[in-house]
Amino acid sequence: MNGMGRQGQRSGATAVHHQRQYSDNFLDSSSNGRWLQSAGLQHLQNSSSSSSIPPLQDYNFYGGGGGGGGGGGQGMRMYRNAPRGFNGVNEFYVEPTTPPISSRSSSQRKNGEDSPNEFSPGLLDLHSFDTELLPEMPVPGLYDGSSLFHPVRGRSFDDSEPFLSNKQQTSRAPVLPDNNLLKSFAADKEKASSVAKIKVVVRKRPMNKKELAKNEEDIIETLSNSLTVHETKLKVDLTEYVEKHEFVFDAVLNEEVSNDEVYRETVEPIVPIIFQRTKATCFAYGQTGSGKTYTMKPLPLKASRDILRLMHHTYRNQGFQLFVSFFEIYGGKLFDLLSDRKKLCMREDGKQQVCIVGLQEYKVSDVETIKDLIEKGNATRSTGTTGANEESSRSHAILQLAIKRSVDGSESKPPRLVGKLSFIDLAGSERGADTTDNDKQTRMEGAEINKSLLALKECIRALDNDKSHIPFRGSKLTEVLRDSFVGNSRTVMISCISPSSGSCEHTLNTLRYADRVKSLSKGNGPKKDILSSTLNMKESTNMPLSSVLPATSTFEDDITDAWAEQDERDDFDASEDSYEQEKPVWKENGKVESYNISTSEDKMRKPNGMTKWKEPSRSILKNSRSDDDLNALLQEEEDLVNAHRKQVEETMNIVREEMNLLVEADQPGNQLDDYITRLNAILSQKAAGILQLQNRLLHFQKRLKEHNVLVSSSGY
Ligand SMILES: Nc1ncnc2c1ncn2[C@@H]1O[C@H](COP(=O)(O)OP(=O)(O)OP(=O)(O)O)[C@@H](O)[C@H]1O
């Protein structure tokens, strides 16, 4: 039933919102495809569209509570996702108005009798969906808030922790916090403010069976909070070498890290802050199959366990209430995952607060109920069509835990929002590249995903830089998350990566995205990415050089002329400012072990922005007879090729950045044309350089032939 419903909604939704969602995106009519074609870069569109989709999985539906399958040994561990008992359920009282799903028969549930009223959900509409934070109010029942940061695990709420009661809700006499308690609360506030605004964490999953069967290598080396990607590349003579890309993040979690540890590192520190009028967002980014869902699934349940602990322990009798909602953004449309994928509308109210009209919000007070709701939403999400991963990887799933409180502590008025924690399992990042797919629907979905991931990055960056303008209108995703981007907010990004060599390109893209989010943050100082200046270039090296070379077969005819002309144009003095490049480190077997391109780019730049390179020594060309000379020549030519490749890669980065700008700026047609003209000019400039390189190589080959003739005739 879900499947049918989902299909139907999918096609229907496209018709309704087509114009709004896609017409202003250059990826459609003024499409990315057309743009890339006009720039001669259409080959770039296909690179990621054929990623393999992992098989359907036996999900643990957030039930693990104890690390899921993430801990333990390596290798097979990733296929073991055995359910674990959920500890601590009995610690929480069950509110009578919110019967847990589990207490009802499964047939009831299957028959669709989950009427919203059973859960006493708040049906959100423009009037009741309150996204504005409750103004700061004195919290009368503050007690030693140390547990705010270190929730006491496995203890009952009857534990006789010192607490001060709320006058309005209990018969206990009000007690004012003493000095120590106030100090402690202040300290907690301080701790809360010391939680970074943005935290970027990378999680590497173990190799899976498929990758092992294909003999793919684990190319990710982790060390503390840094990681190195070992990318195997080919030189022009087809020998392999390994290029290293090193990154530093706030935390790097390797394949041995359990889901529990992921929670401790990412979400646990921000849970207490949402009681202090903060909105926090945790999202997982990465290619399909990199472990986003595996990572995100247990987090909301673990967080709600801690939230409930705080509510019933630290903030006991303070009138805090917890609400859960779960929805999905698919092709730019919103669907309620807790209400049979009912289509939802997003509206802005008079105060520019975003409201999701019709979204069911469930008031919950025990972990079991939350677990059931999450399972329900997840099942609705992943069983939409035949391929669960195929579907889930094309949608963003957003689970929100909202803490509310009545203004006066009484039940008579609707509670107001105190803080919110949003968990986002993003669409597979490579899905944004599906813009060349023959299926229009797929193409548009890809465009929307692309747009939303870029917009998300921009919003986070703006947020961290305290920019007054947050570009949340860039996509449906960021529009929906608008209230999470304004005011006091925290963001945790978990970048999920696959370790295998087959995913290298996607992995580098993911790390680059994460690096951009992190490195542009205020207060982070210079980029932490050790090879940051070469990183971006390296990402585009999967592009075959031939694909940007002008098709020509007649260079040999005019070699000499072209060379002479170019020499003049470059006005080059080889003796004073030659291009220097770190030489490859040769292994004993003749293969290169590591090859780090020099970062001293200044040296190779001429004032006009063109790159200089060292001329092959004419004396060598003319007089060489020995193998040493030839090797020197070869080395010089290789340096040249690398210099040009670097130029091309650099250009591609400019093109990428420009494309990002285009998407972000939603440029109207005429400005788009300006961009294209500018980019074409850049590309032509680069193409001239490449042409020159090709001439040089042909010339060199000719010389080599001559040399060989000489060698053989002179008896060498
Ligand atoms: N850290 C990990 N430890 C063990 N297994 C893992 C880990 N991360 C992911 N896996 C396994 O890898 C497979 C793919 O993971 P998952 O479905 O979470 O990927 P995804 O990034 O969410 O994909 P999609 O974007 O398609 O939804 C699953 O079988 C999952 O159990």
What would the mean pLDDT of 408-414 be, rounded to a whole number? 69
Alpha carbon of 272 to ligand 1 centroid (Å): 28
Tokens of 495: 């970048």
**442 or 245: which leads in pLDDT:** 245
Which residue, judged by its Cα, is nearest atom 14 of ligand 1?
289
Which atom of ligand 1 is found nearest the CA of 389?
Answer: 26
Whole-structure pTM value? 0.54
What is the helix (H) or strand (E) element at residue 266, kind and residue range?
helix 259-266
**639 or 217: which leads in pLDDT:** 217
> Which pLDDT belongs to residue 230?
95
Task: Confirm or reject: Cβ of 428 under 6 Å from ligand 1.
Answer: yes
User: Strand 251-253 and strand 198-204: pairing?
Assistant: parallel
Residue type for position 658: E
pLDDT at residue 427 above 70? yes
Task: Confirm or reject: Cβ of 319 under 6 Å from ligand 1.
Answer: no
Which atom of ligand 1 is found nearest the CA of 286?
Answer: 21
3-state secondary structure (DSSP) of residue 635: helix
Which residue, judged by its Cα, is nearest atom 1 of ligand 1?
205
pLDDT at residue 229 above 70? yes
Q: What is the DSSP string of 286-308?
A: -STTSSHHHHHTHHHHHHHHHHH
Task: Confirm or reject: Cβ of 292 under 6 Å from ligand 1.
Answer: yes
User: Strand 342-348 and strand 354-357: pairing?
Assistant: antiparallel
Other C-beta atoms closer than 10 Å to the C-beta of 215 total 8
What would the mean pLDDT of 603-614 be, rounded to a whole number? 35
Q: Choose one of 60, 259, 288, 294 to mutate for the ligand 1 pocket test, by most ligand atoms within 8 angstroms of C-beta.
A: 294
**Using one digit for the tens of pLDDT, what is the confidence trace for 489-517?**
888 999 999 999 999 998 998 998 888 87
Alpha carbon of 495 to ligand 1 centroid (Å): 12
Alpha carbon of 439 to ligand 1 centroid (Å): 26
**Using one digit for the tens of pLDDT, what is the confidence trace for 204-213?**
999 999 999 9
**382 or 547: which leads in pLDDT:** 382
> Which pLDDT belongs to residue 480?
83
Residue 23 DSSP symbol: I
> Which pLDDT belongs to residue 5?
35
> Which pLDDT belongs to residue 632?
66
Angle at 129 between CA 123 and CA 132, to 5 degrees: 160
Which atom of ligand 1 is found nearest the CA of 55?
Answer: 29
> Which pLDDT belongs to residue 346?
85
Confidence band of 261 (pLDDT split at 50, 70, 90): very high
Alpha carbon of 96 to ligand 1 centroid (Å): 37
pLDDT at residue 323 above 90? yes
Question: Would the ipTM clear 0.85, i.e. be above it?
Answer: yes
> Which pLDDT belongs to residue 139?
41
Helix/strand number for the chain, H first, E second: 20, 17
pLDDT at residue 200 above 60? yes
Confidence band of 461 (pLDDT split at 50, 70, 90): confident
Q: Cβ(515)–Cβ(457) under 8 Å?
A: no
Confidence band of 25 (pLDDT split at 50, 70, 90): very low
Task: Confirm or reject: Cβ of 60 under 6 Å from ligand 1.
Answer: no
Lowest-confidence pick of 216-230, 392-406, 644-658: 644-658
3-state secondary structure (DSSP) of residue 243: strand
Q: Please, which contacts does 126-131 make with residues 24 or more away whose CB atoms are closer than 8 Å?
A: 126/347, 126/349, 126/355, 126/357, 128/414, 129/355, 129/356, 129/357, 129/359, 129/361, 130/353, 130/404, 130/414, 130/416, 130/417, 131/353, 131/354, 131/355, 131/417, 131/483
Residue 65 labeled ligand binder: no
Rg (CA), the chain: 29
Which atom of ligand 1 is found nearest the CA of 428?
Answer: 25
> Which pLDDT belongs to residue 17?
32
Residue 491 DSSP symbol: E
Q: Cβ(482)–Cβ(688) under 8 Å?
A: no
**398 or 180: which leads in pLDDT:** 398
> Which pLDDT belongs to residue 104?
35
Average pLDDT, the chain: 61
Residue 289 labeled ligand binder: yes
Task: Confirm or reject: Cβ of 499 under 6 Å from ligand 1.
Answer: no
Residue type for position 84: R
3-state secondary structure (DSSP) of residue 245: strand
What would the mean pLDDT of 423-439 be, rounded to a whole number? 66
Residue 287 labeled ligand binder: yes
Which residue, judged by its Cα, is nearest atom 29 of ligand 1?
57
> Which pLDDT belongs to residue 667?
52
Residue 352 labeled ligand binder: no
Task: Confirm or reject: Cβ of 392 under 6 Å from ligand 1.
Answer: yes
Among 120-134, 197-211, 554-568, 599-613, name the most confident range.
Answer: 197-211
What is the helix (H) or strand (E) element at residue 661, kind and residue range?
helix 627-665
Query: Rounded to whole angstroms, what are the CA distances from 284 to 196, 267, 423, 499?
Result: 17, 12, 8, 16
262-280 CB burial, b ≥16 within 10 A, e <16: bbebbbbbbbbbbbbbbbb
Query: Rounded to whole angstroms, what are the CA distances from 197 to 250, 416, 491, 529?
Result: 12, 24, 6, 19
Task: Confirm or reject: Cβ of 494 under 6 Å from ligand 1.
Answer: no
Among 259-273, 337-351, 605-619, name the most confident range.
Answer: 259-273
Q: What residue ranges in 374-428 does DSSP mark as E strands?
A: 395-405, 416-425
Alpha carbon of 424 to ligand 1 centroid (Å): 15
What would the mean pLDDT of 301-322 be, rounded to a whole number? 89
Confidence band of 36 (pLDDT split at 50, 70, 90): very low
Among 103-107, 501-505, 587-591, 660-664, name the most confident range.
Answer: 501-505
Cα(227)–Cα(270) distance, integer angstroms: 25
pLDDT at residue 418 above 70? yes
pLDDT at residue 333 above 90? no
> Which pLDDT belongs to residue 450?
75
Confidence band of 474 (pLDDT split at 50, 70, 90): confident
Tokens of 140: 């009368």
Task: Confirm or reject: Cβ of 258 under 6 Å from ligand 1.
Answer: no
> Which pLDDT belongs to residue 410?
64
Alpha carbon of 541 to ligand 1 centroid (Å): 27
**496 or 178: which leads in pLDDT:** 496
Which residue, among 632, 609, 606, 642, has the nearest Cα to 241 in the 3D structure?
642
**Using one digit for the tens of pLDDT, what is the confidence trace for 128-169?**
334 444 444 444 333 333 333 333 333 322 222 222 233 333
> Which pLDDT belongs to residue 106?
37
Task: Confirm or reject: Cβ of 205 under 6 Å from ligand 1.
Answer: yes
Task: Confirm or reject: Cβ of 435 under 6 Å from ligand 1.
Answer: no
Q: Identify the residue whose tokens are 């991931």.
A: 453
Which atom of ligand 1 is found nearest the CA of 297?
Answer: 18
Task: Confirm or reject: Cβ of 305 under 6 Å from ligand 1.
Answer: no
Angle at 361 between CA 413 and CA 398, to 5 degrees: 135
Task: Confirm or reject: Cβ of 57 under 6 Å from ligand 1.
Answer: yes
Q: Identify the residue whose tokens are 């419903």.
A: 5
Cα(198)–Cα(522) distance, integer angstroms: 10
Which residue, judged by its Cα, is nearest atom 4 of ligand 1?
78
Tokens of 136: 């700061």
Among 546-555, 568-577, 653-662, name the most confident range.
Answer: 653-662
Residue 112 labeled ligand binder: no
Task: Confirm or reject: Cβ of 452 under 6 Å from ligand 1.
Answer: no
> Which pLDDT belongs to residue 44?
36
pLDDT at residue 551 above 50? no
Which residue, among 204, 52, 31, 47, has the nearest Cα to 541 in the 3D structure?
47
Task: Confirm or reject: Cβ of 389 under 6 Å from ligand 1.
Answer: yes
Which atom of ligand 1 is found nearest the CA of 296?
Answer: 18
Lowest-confidence pick of 181-195, 330-344, 452-466: 181-195
Among 417-421, 592-596, 598-602, 700-704, name the most confident range.
Answer: 417-421
Among 258-272, 570-584, 631-645, name the most confident range.
Answer: 258-272
Q: Choose one of 53, 61, 78, 393 to mutate for the ligand 1 pocket test, by most ligand atoms within 8 angstroms of C-beta.
A: 78
What would the mean pLDDT of 677-697 be, rounded to a whole number? 73
Which residue, judged by its Cα, is nearest atom 15 of ligand 1?
291
Cα(675)–Cα(662) distance, integer angstroms: 8
Confidence band of 398 (pLDDT split at 50, 70, 90): very high
What would the mean pLDDT of 367-389 be, rounded to a whole number? 73
Alpha carbon of 58 to ligand 1 centroid (Å): 11
pLDDT at residue 610 above 90? no
Task: Confirm or reject: Cβ of 100 under 6 Å from ligand 1.
Answer: no
Which residue, judged by its Cα, is nearest atom 12 of ligand 1?
291
What is the helix (H) or strand (E) element at residue 328, kind and residue range?
strand 320-330
Which atom of ligand 1 is found nearest the CA of 205?
Answer: 1
